[in-house]
Chains A and B, each alone.
Chain A
Amino acid sequence: GESVGLHLPTLSVQEGDNSIINCAYSNSASDYFIWYKQESGKGPQFIIDIRSNMDKRQGQRVTVLLNKTVKHLSLQIAATQPGDSAVYFCAENIPGNQFYFGTGTSLTVIP
């Protein structure tokens, strides 16, 4: 999976299946995390965020899971659609510091 440092470049899923994109972060002091979606030719778009006092947060068709023990973050997309094809990357924030971004995972949805 993706990490703020390493990344899994591509993920292909069948339309209608669920997608899971992973992110490993390195700093245990990070307390705020964001998932962004970036479509070709566009800027990053905020999808969902989670703070370290939570381990799960749900949005519309998306769920973010946070495992602080192993410093792991995942984004689950339910019933993946062709419009979900994009690069997804996570960002972590250490209190009082800037955001650090991952390199991204390219999701391709196969019709």
Chain B
Amino acid sequence: ETGVTQTPRHLVMGMTNKKSLKCEQHLGHNAMYWYKQSAKKPLELMFVYNFKEQTENNSVPSRFSPECPNSSHLFLHLHTLQPEDSALYLCASSQGDATDTQYFGPGTRLTVL
């Protein structure tokens, strides 16, 4: 195990639902990330938090809303998603900033109906 946990592992939601993804890291890291992984595409960075402050938002639609209450926890709040948002959502953490080695959680497989 990498020390990064994510829940739930699988999520099916309708386009009008509101749900949240949770990530927790037990590595004492200061930076956390959300990535989207779609089939046969490179990982897409969505959000970066460093010491609980958001330092990166890669032009992500507002239907995705991150929250980082402390350096160990990261949430991704979802509402009114589209079917094309179906993907594997990965959380990662690193010791320092985005140039440090990142360690990933197992991901949440999201399906939007």
Enumerate chain B residues within 8 angstroms of A49, measured Cβ to Cβ: 101
Query: With A43-B106, A44-B104 in contact, is A97–B43 under 8 Å at CB?
Result: no
Query: With A43-B2, A102-B42, A103-B40 in contact, is A97–B99 under 8 Å at CB?
Result: yes
Which chain B residues numbered 60 to 113 have a C-beta less than 8 Å away from chain A?
Answer: 90, 98-99, 101-107
Enumerate chain B residues within 8 angstroms of A44, measured Cβ to Cβ: 43, 90, 104
Complex CA–CA separation, A102 to B106 (angstroms): 18
In the complex, number of A-B residue pairs with CB atoms less than 8 Å apart: 48
> How far in angstroms is the closest Cβ of chain A from B20?
19
> How far in angstroms is the closest Cβ of chain A from B67?
20
Enumerate chain A residues within 8 angstroms of B107, measured Cβ to Cβ: 42-43
Number of B interface residues, CB 8 Å?
20
Enumerate chain B residues within 8 angstroms of A100, measured Cβ to Cβ: 42
Q: Is the CB of B42 within 8 A of A101?
A: yes
Number of A interface residues, CB 8 Å?
23
Q: How would you classify the secondary structure of chain B's contact residues: helix, strand, loop or mixed?
A: loop
Query: With A93-B99, A97-B98, A98-B98 in contact, is A43–B104 under 8 Å at CB?
Result: yes
Q: Is the CB of B48 within 8 A of A98?
A: yes
Contact mask for chain A residues 37-65; partner B; CB cutoff 8 A; 1 contact, 0 none: 00001111110010000000000000000
Q: Is the CB of B104 within 8 A of A32?
A: no
Enumerate chain B residues within 8 angstroms of A101, measured Cβ to Cβ: 42-43
Chain A: residues with CB nearer than 8 A to chain B? 4, 9, 32, 34, 36, 41-46, 49, 89, 93, 95-103
User: Told that A43-B105, A98-B48 touch, could you supply 10 new A-B pairs with CB distance under 8 A?
Assistant: A4-B42, A9-B40, A36-B104, A42-B107, A45-B2, A46-B2, A46-B103, A99-B45, A99-B98, A99-B99
Can you spell out 12 A-B residue pairs with CB atoms less than 8 angstroms apart?
Answer: A4-B42, A32-B99, A34-B101, A36-B104, A41-B106, A43-B2, A43-B104, A44-B43, A44-B90, A45-B2, A98-B48, A98-B98
